[in-house]
């Protein structure tokens, strides 16, 4: 089969190594902010006896996911640009695709399979959901079409149990399949940026007109991340003085949190209210791309980086854990509020222990194994020896 996309041509078109593959700690900290916002959006499940939802009446429920999408679009695009730059000129294009998809599969699927199995079992055993219905939802999540299945479920009044977060993970997985192919077809960053801009404008207009129909394909955040990756050589030239950078970072988060909670630009009654939070996410990621430790605040910088490195596992586990503990806390809170608060604190500690165990014994070993498998694809099939590909954190 003829290889229409030569490595030499693509590398020259995309030009230069985007970065050295080093983990950007500000990106990790923003991942932590994103997952914390997701936890807040589902806080009512765990803290229902406190009427938690009343505190966030105007909450932009998707802003944490939007921030994840912008980060993922940027990180994945940068990873692909770097891969194209490192490819040997004589290597067939399909090896690049195989390596990328193998790394993604081993990075994401093992932990997801464990969590899908646990969520499905608990939905049936604890909450009495129909097992056949839950298995259909589980297969939709496993094969990364859950965003479409969730739309079907909402229209037809079908329960999805504890699997709701998988709509966004499915959308990301679809992006991971389509985007590398798109990169090979368009060949240049300029064309890629134009497509990304068109995608953002198109989905924002569609979402403004029929929000209930288009939310399940909201790829605008991913497109924004791709756009930032295309512009990253220019963004990284910007250097802020250390103290000034910290002040700017703090000011951005001080503005971002009220927007997320709906105190600024509430969801109802403001045209383009969904666009404003997305724009805030993009601005945050722009400052993270500068890689100047803008969000490395005293005392909490390391904690945010730690949580960000485990944000995928936190996202997978949180709703299942919240549902499982929420019923216990609700019953306890109706009788003894103080005891319920203590149990809530202990449950959050237990949750982070489970996250750490999943990260250490499922996510990390399979991710590392996936990297080794991907490198063997290159070494065993390429006729020209070259250096192993460095993989950015994702």
Q: Give the pLDDT means over successive 10-residue stretches in the chain (394 positions).
A: 40 44 86 92 81 58 87 96 82 86 96 96 90 96 95 91 93 96 90 94 80 78 96 89 80 78 55 73 92 83 94 96 89 79 92 97 96 79 41 37
CA 374 to chain CA centroid, nearest Å: 22
The CA distance from 13 to 3, in Å, is 17
Cα gap 37→43, rounded to integer Å = 10
pLDDT at 262: 64
Q: Return d(Cα 190, Cα 221) in angstroms, integer.
A: 18
Token readout for 190 is 């300029």
Domain boundaries, the chain: 7-129+168-378
Tracing tokens 């990284």 back to the chain, one arrives at 236
CB neighbours of residue 319 within 10 Å: 23
**Smallest Cα–Cα separation from 221: which of 74, 86, 390?**
74
Three-class DSSP category at 157: coil
Give first-to-last CA distance, the chain, whole Å: 32
Supply the pLDDT for residue 5.
38
How far CA 356 is from CA of 350, 366, 393, in Å, comes to: 10, 15, 17
């Amino acid at each position: 089969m003829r290889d229409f996309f030569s490595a030499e041509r693509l590398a020259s078109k995309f030009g230069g190594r985007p970065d050295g593959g080093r983990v950007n700690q500000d990106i990790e900290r923003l991942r932590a902010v994103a997952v914390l916002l997701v936890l807040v959006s589902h806080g009512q499940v765990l803290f229902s006896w406190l009427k938690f939802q009343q505190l966030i009446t105007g909450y932009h429920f998707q802003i944490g996911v939007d921030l994840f999408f912008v980060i993922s679009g940027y990180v994945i695009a940068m990873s692909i640009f770097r891969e194209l730059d490192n490819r040997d000129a004589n290597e067939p294009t399909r090896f690049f695709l195989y390596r990328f998809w193998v790394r993604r599969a081993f990075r994401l699927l093992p932990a997801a399979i464990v969590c899908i199995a646990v969520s499905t079992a608990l939905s049936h055993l604890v909450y009495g959901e129909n097992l056949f219905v839950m298995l259909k939802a589980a297969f939709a999540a496993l094969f990364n079409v859950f965003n479409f299945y969730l739309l079907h479920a909402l229209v037809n009044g079908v329960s999805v149990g504890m699997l709701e977060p998988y709509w966004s993970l499915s959308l990301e997985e679809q992006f991971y399949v389509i985007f590398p192919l798109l990169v090979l077809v368009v060949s240049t960053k300029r064309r890629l940026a134009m497509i990304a801009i068109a995608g953002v404008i198109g989905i924002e207009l569609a979402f403004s007109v029929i929000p209930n129909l288009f939310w399940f394909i909201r790829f605008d955040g991913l497109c924004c991340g791709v756009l930032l990756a295309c512009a990253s050589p220019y963004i990284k030239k910007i250097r802020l003085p250390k103290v000034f950078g910290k002040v700017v970072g703090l000011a951005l988060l001080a503005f971002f949190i009220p927007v997320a909670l709906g105190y600024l630009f509430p969801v109802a009654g403001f045209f383009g209210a969904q666009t404003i939070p997305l724009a805030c996410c993009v601005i945050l990621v722009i400052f993270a791309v500068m890689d100047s430790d803008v969000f490395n605040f005293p005392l909490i910088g390391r904690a945010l980086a730690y949580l960000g490195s485990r944000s995928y596992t936190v996202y997978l586990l949180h709703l299942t854990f919240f549902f499982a503990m929420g019923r216990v806390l609700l019953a306890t809170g109706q009788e003894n509020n103080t005891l319920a608060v203590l149990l809530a604190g202990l449950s959050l500690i237990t949750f982070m222990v489970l996250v750490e165990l999943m990260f250490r014994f499922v996510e990390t070993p399979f991710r590392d194994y996936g990297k080794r498998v991907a490198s063997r694809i290159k070494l065993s099939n390429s006729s020209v020896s070259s250096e192993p590909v460095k993989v950015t954190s994702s």
